[in-house]
Amino acid sequence: MDIIDWSRLATFADEDDPEDMEWLEEMLSTLIGNTATRLQELRQLIEDKNGAELKPLLHQIKGVAANFGLTKLQEVSAHAETLLKNGELDESIKESLTLQSIWEETQKELIEKYKLQIPQ
């Protein structure tokens, strides 16, 4: 399975329209910044073993990933959320720990495809 559903992203903008592409690039830049913040929060919640706050954060990550067609991120965050709902905090944490590397790979593909300039 691909980590990104490119056909989903293609529905956001006409690749032949420079204004559409500029808008999409802005959206993706915002996505990258917001996801970095969410993953930082995720690391803290994992460290604290705070399942109560971890669940809505995983739900949020899953929803954003679904909206943008980030299939692998969506799948893993959904699985971690389900584990947490079933009372399996340690297993959910184990699954959640993989989200950072999945995101790094996803982000790299987005940056390469759309030639994004992401401020450090």
43-59 per-position pLDDT tens digit: 999 999 999 999 999 99
Instruction: Provide the percentage of residues in the chain whose pLDDT is more than 70.
Output: 98
For residue 90, the enclosing domain spans 71-114
Determine, yes or no, domain membership for 104.
yes
Q: b vs e for 8-18, b when ≥16 Cβ sit within 10 Å of the residue's Cβ? A: ebeebbeeeee
Determine, yes or no, domain membership for 85.
yes
Determine, yes or no, domain membership for 77.
yes
Report how many domains make up the chain: 1
Phi, psi angles (nearest 5°) of residue 87? 80, 15
Task: Using only the alpha carbons of the chain, give its radius of gyration.
Answer: 15
Instruction: Indicate yes or no: pTM above 0.75.
Output: yes
Determine, yes or no, domain membership for 40.
no
Determine, yes or no, domain membership for 106.
yes
Is the pLDDT assigned to residue 1 strictly greater than 90?
A: no
pLDDT score at 35: 97
Length of the chain: 120
Determine, yes or no, domain membership for 39.
no
User: Of 14, 35, 28, which is closest to residue 116 (Cα–Cα)?
Assistant: 28
